[in-house]
Amino acid sequence: MGKLERINQAELEDVLTTADAPLQKRCSETELRGLGALMESMARRWPQEIEDSVGAYYVDMKQLVLREGLETVSLAVSDLRVEPGQKFFPRPDEIAHQIEKLRAKREAQADVNRANRYLDWLHEEQRICLLERAEERRAERDNER
């Protein structure tokens, strides 16, 4: 059975739920197509034999897409494509870890940006204070004359 057939089988098994099963949030058709394309590109990039795992990977990747969004998952996979030492098809938990790394990096950058804005404000306040002080001294000297 080919990789795509396994994905379709996994998707079919995921869709076939009993009436007693609780309703779950599902990926949109657009997200499913995007995820299929993403996994195909991953299979071309990392061509190891993963046929036994591709169905389980697909189900886990769908959960990641539901939790994080297709764009976020795609960005993490893109980042892994150029990650030094990433020689094998990334497991869904590795992709989730990459998402967390990227999120932490964005948050750290946002902190740096906030700190820089504060420092800019502080420097401007200091400049204004110095100008006001210089103006006051000039006025005092003018009054002394």
Residue-wise pLDDT for 68-77, tens only, equals 999 999 999 9
With a cut of 50, say whether residue 124 has pLDDT above it.
Answer: yes
pTM (2 d.p.)? 0.62
> Which spans in 26-91 are helix H?
29-45, 54-68, 70-81
Between residues 95 and 20, the one the model is more confident about = 95
Give the pLDDT of residue 70: 94
Give the pLDDT of residue 104: 96
Residue 98: which domain range? 3-144
Residue at token pair 């006001």 = 132
Question: Looking at the 3D structure of the chain, how many domains does it have?
Answer: 1
Give the pLDDT of residue 145: 75
Asked if 90 and 73 touch (Cβ cutoff 8 Å), the reply is no
With a cut of 70, say whether residue 78 has pLDDT above it.
Answer: yes
